[in-house]
Every structure is written in structure tokens, then in C-alpha cells.
Amino acid sequence: VVTQEPSVTVSPGGTVTLTCGSSTATVTSSHYCYWLQQKPGQAPRTLIYDTSKKFSWTPARFTGSLLGGKAALTLSGAQPEDEADYYCFLSYSSSSNWVFGGGTRLTVL
């Protein structure tokens, strides 16, 4: 099971860290963690892959890392448009299985 905070609130301009844990093991770079953003009525958009790598469209204020045995997505300088659901996605390559976390609803308020 991949665990995420169900909901988190951040103030505009503030900093927040979302985490992604695994019930079976410490999350490491071998889980190749992805972070996705999904806004209501839209398809997901992948922001981060391989723990910390960004795409050309990933805003600089998003950073992926490993933190305290979990994967983490840090948003520095939250904007109203960052309000969305965020999902992490972990690889369990030893069992040929890939699993999404349950998602975190981020509110910018």
C-alpha cells in the first residue's frame, strides 16, 4: 500500500511538503517515484519522475526528493493554480508491480 496524506492546506506563497510512503519498505530511489497533478475534470499531468527529475512543463516551485524514508513533493511559493489532487506512483520492480498512492488534495487558502 502506498500512503499519502488525504488532504493538506497551504497558504498562498507558502511552502508545503507532500509525502509518499510504502507500507512494505522504506521508499528509495529504486522506487523511481513519480508525482502527478490532477485538476477537476482534467487528465493527470506528470510533474516529477525518477524521484526528482522534472519535465519541461514542471514549474520550478515543485521539487521531488526522498525525506525520512518517504518520497516527498515540496511546493515552494504556492499559487492558487496549484490547488489540485496530487498522486505519487511507485515502482515495485521486484514484483513487476507499479502502484499509485491514494492521492492528496491540496488546498491553497
Query: Which residues contribute to the site for other proteins (CB under 8 A)?
Result: 34, 36, 38, 43-46, 49-50, 53, 55, 85, 87, 89, 96-103
Kindly tell me which of 12 and 39 has the beta carbon lying closer to other proteins.
Answer: 39
Kindly tell me which of 74 and 105 has the beta carbon lying closer to other proteins.
Answer: 105
Closest CA to 72 of 1, 30, 14, 16: 16
* CA angle at 77 for the pair 62 and 58, rounded to the nearest 5°: 25
Min dist CB 13 to other proteins, Å, is 28
CB 65 within 8 A of CB 50: no
Kindly tell me which of 80 and 94 has the beta carbon lying closer to other proteins.
Answer: 94
